[in-house]
Amino acid sequence: MNKVKLIECPRDAMQGIKSHFIATDAKAQYINALLRVGFDTIDFGSFVSPKAIPQMRDTADVLSKLDLSRTESKLLAIVANVRGAEDASKFEEIDYLGYPFSISENFQMRNTGKTISESIIILDKILAIASKTNKEVVAYLSMGFGNPYGDPWNVEIVSEWTDKLSKMGVKILSLSDTIGSSNPEIITYLFSNLIPKYSNMEFGAHLHTTPTTWFEKVDAAYKSGCNRFDGAIKGYGGCPMATDELTGNMPTEKLISYFNQQKADTNINAMSFESAYNEALKIF
């Protein structure tokens, strides 16, 4: 059986909720349920400015309430700058530092307040921090499948940045369909060309989708050699800048269904997933 890594992203699902603050205990209860499912990694929180993402201001407190004694899942925290990386790296429980790097100058400025050239310097420092503290960096190539802001975008630009990040020491690169603009042709082209060329890198798919296009995107990525997929239960969350309000994260239940059909090994416990799914309904 082909082994597939599923990364569950409650952080991505929760961070855009502005109507109310989700209680720390409720977040911890939900993530503890996810830790029992068998996901490869849980993208559980972020160490970023509480002014920018107020919903994630209690990430350290949530971490203190997680039961990691009976899970094989690893924890990933998003960081946007050196200070965030330093804060996150103090916690032994965290395995991965996730850094959103955009090949769109406009989106990089909107997302982190930095230019691309400034972001590369920050990423280099984060890689050094991770190396010293026994963490790994997961770099997200935002706008990896297209660009709505008029910045130059083509598959050659994606390839050039992949090459630069590889030479910097990035070992895990997740191509991010930030606004749901990808199509099967672009997905197939990128993964089928990049994966064989950079055998030292693990490529992931952070795909945003509408309810009618999820299958074709997952199918194109998987059949092009991608074995790492980000999802969020019921597709909650996603980029608020997407033009279609139906565009959200890739629904985890769709991923599980697809890979069950493909007879791939996801390590998912069906009963535990059902329990976590019910917890998600309470949170959202």
Query: pLDDT (tens digit, 9 = 90+) per residue, 250-279?
Result: 999 999 999 999 999 999 999 999 999 999
Pair of tokens at residue 41: 């990694």
What is the rounded (10 degree) CA torsion for 20, 76, 68, 72? 130
Q: Which residue has the higher pLDDT, 195 or 238?
A: 195
Please, which pLDDT band fits residue 240 given cuts at 50, 70 and 90?
low
Higher pLDDT, 238 or 209: 209
Question: What is the pTM (predicted TM-score) of this model?
Answer: 0.94
Sorted by sequence, the CB contacts under 8 Å of residue 61 that are 6+ apart come out as 24
Give 149 or 235, the one with higher predicted confidence.
235
**Integer CA distances (angstroms), 129 to 26, 140, 142, 164, 233, in order:** 31, 18, 22, 19, 31
Fold topology of 5-283: TIM Barrel (3.20.20)
Q: Among 111, 188, 186, which residue's Cα sits nearest to residue 142?
A: 111
Q: What is the pLDDT of residues 2-29, one digit of tens each?
A: 999 999 999 999 998 989 999 999 999 9
pLDDT digits (tens, 9 = 90+) for 152-179: 787 888 999 999 999 999 999 999 987 7
* pLDDT at position 146 over 60: yes
Please write the tens of the pLDDT for every residue from 90-108: 999 999 999 999 887 877 7
Average pLDDT, the chain: 93
Residue 244 has pLDDT above 60, yes or no: no
Beta strands (DSSP E) in the chain are 5-8, 41-47, 74-79, 96-102, 136-142, 172-177, 202-209, 228-231, 248-249
Give residue 27's identity as a one-letter amino acid code: K
Paired strand residues for 5:
228
pLDDT band at 85, cuts 50/70/90?
very high
